[in-house]
Amino acid sequence: MLGAADYAVALVILLLPVCVGIWYAVKDKHKATRTEYLLGGRQMSVIPVGMSIFITFQSAISQIGYPAEIFYYGVIYILQSLGVAASYLIGYFTIVPLMHPLQITSLYEYLKLR
């Protein structure tokens, strides 16, 4: 059973990132543009932007669930991971070089340009 100390630690763990987020939101409210938020003010190169885009497809829950999936489905589940990795490579060499020089933030903007 959880005690008061456990709840206090959980509260601190949850409130600390919220407080940091609020601090930077108030501190940098004049720089709160879509470009600054999504792309770091366009100061980053293609590699960190691509990694940021592709990591959003992987959630912490799916990472935690991999051992259970391997146990349930066996080693064949690795083929799914190889497919995901291949899709990341294809996207890295096709989508990211297309979008980065155009300075767009979504595929919808690309379709609007076309």
Pair 69, 63: CB distance under 8 Å: no
**Ramachandran area for residue 9 (φ above 0: left; ψ -120 to 50: alpha; else beta):** alpha
Specify the pLDDT at position 35. Answer: 66
Average pLDDT over residues 4-24: 90
Specify the pLDDT at position 39. Answer: 64
Residue 13 has pLDDT above 90, yes or no: yes
Cα angle 11-17-20, degrees, rounded to a multiple of 5: 125
